[in-house]
Structure 1
Amino acid sequence: MATRRAPLVGALVAEGMSFVGTRVSMIAIPWFVLSTTGSAAQTGLVAAAEIAPLVVLKALGGPLLDRVGPRRVTLTCDLLSSIVVAAIPLLHHLGLLSFPVLLVLVALAGALRGPGDAGKSAMSPEIARVGGWSLERVTGLASAVERTSSMAGAALAGLLVASIGAANALYVDAATFLVSFVVFAVATTGLGRPVPPEEGTDATSYATELRQGWDFLRTEPVLVAVCVMVAVTNLVDQAWSAVLAPVWAKDSGAGVAVLGTLFAVMSGASVLGALVAARWGETLPRFRTYVLAFLVAGAPRFVVMALDSPVWAVFVVIAVAGVASGFLNPILGAVILERIPAPLMGRVSSLNTAICWSLMPLGGILGGLAVAGLGLSPALLVAGAVYLVTTMAPARVPSFRAMDRPPAVPEAASAPDLSGSR
């Protein structure tokens, strides 16, 4: 069968625009709330209002992807998201944006992001198949695009908020949804259709289909191990980026400029790692690469900060950790996607992502409590130890070592996905 590269290129461009918009909103919305209300508590409430429905809809939207097709769900969510996000600055300028209305709009934006992101992810295997590329290469390229566009989006957000204001910056976020919608619609024509049910099977309810996805996920030890591991590491990473690293920058005298540069170095290094993984990842032994990458990308950055090391040493460790982290998403993405049969792709991939994101809202809270109760250095060491134990624990699952060999998948599974969007 002739290969088609346009779906992959279009999906990557749409992903890039999506992540740029996400970074803009991540900076513009909190700044908008702080500048209009002056309340840190209300800013935190807005953040919770977005993330909670996002996680819930990721978990519950899977059967919808399988029923109507991930492409249709993704395009619908992107189009509606552009309207919802644009409504925030529009209502503000009209004097109609009360805080409860803002909460509702932000919650709607989060709710749309859930199935929209999941729809893009559920199309990665099909996009890889029609392009004649391995899943490692596709997920590696997607990871590189995510990290690169996230860096660019953060820089753009700072410029926009400083030059045109936080409210007007949200119009740019809305525009990125529209661009993503158009590019994805054109590039993926003919793909992402619902998988027809097997002959002789009875129609099932939405709840039954949701339970089928959960039943499959919980009986796959590799998927369960990955879900739990990523959920905990996401929590610890959130604690590090939201609390532990900023407190280190303040207490050490490094300052916010060094902190920003540190994050940029790690992101840039991870782009390099993701590009290398996209090019050569399929030739590497997955299990050994997973172990080595997490040993380098995880605990060392916590330890080097806890030991009050010189700033140059912290930068070296962070750069090496960033390169190693770039290898992880391509490996884990391929391991997950090739284990899910096509008829269950939407349900299982959505549940998988929801579980992985489920603990993130607690990261900042637990990081703050750890620093307050233990002090910065002990909190960093505890976080590093949790990261080390969590990432190495799946290695004790016997079937986890079989990740080097793609499992036998039912014939119906030779289709659909591309990972996380906005």
Structure 2
Amino acid sequence: MTATGIPPAPAVTERPAHRDGNVLRWLGAYTTSMIGDSVYFVALSWAAARTGSAGQAGLVLAVGAVPRAILMLGGGVVADRFGPRRVVIGSDAVRCAVILAVAVLLLVTAPAIWLLAAVALVFGAVDALFLPSVGALPPRITAPGQLGRVQGMRGLAQRVATVVAAPLGGLAVALGGPAAAFGAAGVLFAVSLALLMAVRVRELPADGAAARGGTARRQLADGLRYIRGHRVLGPLTLVAAVMELGFAGPANIGLVLLADERGWGAAGMAWIVAGFGVGAGLAALLLTVRGRVSRAGAVQSWGVIAGSVALAGIAFAPSVATAAAAGLLVGLCTGLGGALIGALCQTVADPAYLGRVTSVMTLFTMGVAPLSYPVVGAAIGVWGMAPVFVASAALSAAGGVIGLCSRSLRRAELPR
């Protein structure tokens, strides 16, 4: 046991990540945590809808996003200062305790809107600590040459969680109401916590050195300066941010409005979303099997551009089948691009800044990009479906163009 209380991992060898028990424990923890997140959201949605008005239910669901967005960057500072393993275990323990306490409380009393809103606020705040920390762990549990494969495995875990979580949450609600669903989410968080505690990590060179002194604000500013001045991370962050701003609106609210306008209904929208999922799953499987993609910096940029073109094509699809095929191409191209963005971040970032780098990336995908939903919805109402899809896709593709214009990013490679 080290002086910091972190159990050391043995020297990292080039063992394939999919055969490394340590990596598989981390992956299991990540997967069960994601499923728990989704089951929690089902429980919260159902309890809010049954307790208050539609407006109050919407407020409860939205309120959790506020602390997550506001505190996300601070979560990266905390991860770098205290170590991602310690922070991820502590935050997972808090999530488990809070959700199980709510489940017990709902067994003896009816849910109240104020209680559900408070739970959403606490959960969002803890998520702001958990997400940067869990994303900063892979370089500490595997060799650099396996980081691409780990990102592919992480993508597959996301697909599994998407397929499993909603039916599981719905079944729990059907059998025992919100209390059972909250209980199921709490058990999943408990499993995640147990797996995380069994993950062995190693100290990386300069771990924590850039986050030991100074105030949190100074550490955050230092991290942002580091990203901005880095020859690869700076443009890579810009690629991810611009891509998400263009992609998020059409891929979410846009598909709903498109399916309604074309008369495809919920089933048609489900087929398109399924196309997204299959494509993203294939991209993750490709990276998991290969472990490494040559010219990763250029490939991720071209993937963003190709996926953006396919996204624009959905608005012109004459049938559900054509739109689903376009959705598959979107998932395949952007899924590969997104996984390579994550792998490159893990590879090129100084370990002392990795929590802050992860928090910035997560903020754009989970905090800033959803702000485009009402803008896209309003724009479709004014200008129509096709112009808005094309404009959004052009914005998303601009992210890939930015990547290609950066010589350092274009030539960036994953380690062998």
Above 0.5 in TM-score? yes
Q: CA offset at residue 70 of structure 1?
A: 0.9
Pick one of 311, 320, 330 that aligns with 1:301: 311
Q: Is the 8 A contact 1:298 1:388 kept in 2?
A: yes
SS at match of 1:359: helix
Match of 1:354 in 2: 363
Determine the structure 1 residue equivalent to 2:413.
404
Instruction: Decide whether aligned partners of structure 1 residues 31 and 236 sit closer, same or farther in structure 2, where only a CA change above 3 A counts.
Output: farther
- Report the secondary structure of 1:284's partner residue: coil
SS of residue paired to 1:55:
helix
Q: Does the residue aligned with 1:338 lie in a helix, a strand or coil?
A: helix
Residue 256 (structure 1) shift: 0.7
The answer to which structure, 1 or 2, has the higher relative contact order (CA under 8 A, 6+ apart) is 1
Matched, 1:204 2:219: no
Is the aligned partner of 1:19 residue 2:34?
yes
Give me the whole-angstrom Cα distance separating, in 2, the residues matched to 1:196 and 1:144: 29
2:137 is the alignment partner of 1:128: no
Of 344, 367, 373, 1:364 maps to: 373
Contact residue 304 and residue 400 of structure 2 kept, 8 A: yes
Equivalent residues of 1:240, 1:367 under 8 A apart? yes
Q: Secondary structure at the match of 2:224?
A: helix
2:277 to 264, 267, 273: 267
Q: Kindly tell me the number of residue pairs found equivalent between the two proteins.
A: 400
- Report whether the alignment pairs 1:45 with 2:45: no
Asked if residue 280 in structure 1 is aligned to residue 290 in structure 2, the reply is: yes
Alignment of 1:97-246 (within 5 A): 97-129=111-143, 133-186=145-198, 188-191=199-202, 203-246=213-256
Query: Partners of 1:377 and 1:165 in 2: how far apart?
Result: 42
Which of the numbers 313, 318, 324 marks the counterpart of 2:322?
A: 313
The one-letter code of the counterpart of 2:290 is W
The Cα shift of 1:361 comes to 3.1
Moved more, 392-401 or 6-15: 392-401
Aligned-pair CA distance for 1:380 = 2.0
Asked if the contact 1:70/1:194 (under 8 Å) is kept, the reply is no
Residues 90 and 236 from structure 1, CA distance in 2 versus in 1: closer, same or farther, beyond 3 angstroms? farther
CA–CA distance in structure 1, aligned partners of residues 57 and 287 of structure 2? 38
In structure 1, distance between residues paired with 2:31 and 2:175: 23
Deviation at 1:30, TM superposition (A): 2.3
The Cα shift of 1:234 comes to 2.7
Do the aligned residues in 2 keep the contact of 1:74 with 1:115 (CA within 8 Å)?
yes
Identity of aligned residues (%): 23
* Corresponding letter in the other structure for 1:136: G
Alignment partners' CA distance in 2, 1:197 and 1:154: 38
Whether the 8 Å contact between 1:60 and 1:351 is mirrored in structure 2 is no
Q: Does the C-alpha gap of structure 1 residues 95 and 313 become closer, same or farther in structure 2, counting only changes over 3 Å?
A: same
2:298–2:403 CA contact under 8 A, matched in 1: no
Distance 1:231 1:198, change over 3 A: closer
Per the alignment, do residues 252 and 238 of structure 1 end up closer, same or farther by CA in structure 2, a change over 3 Å counting? same
Q: Which runs of 5+ in 2 are unaligned?
A: 1-10
Please report the RMSD computed on the Cα atoms of aligned residues, expressed in angstroms: 2.7
- TM-score, length-normalised on structure 1? 0.86
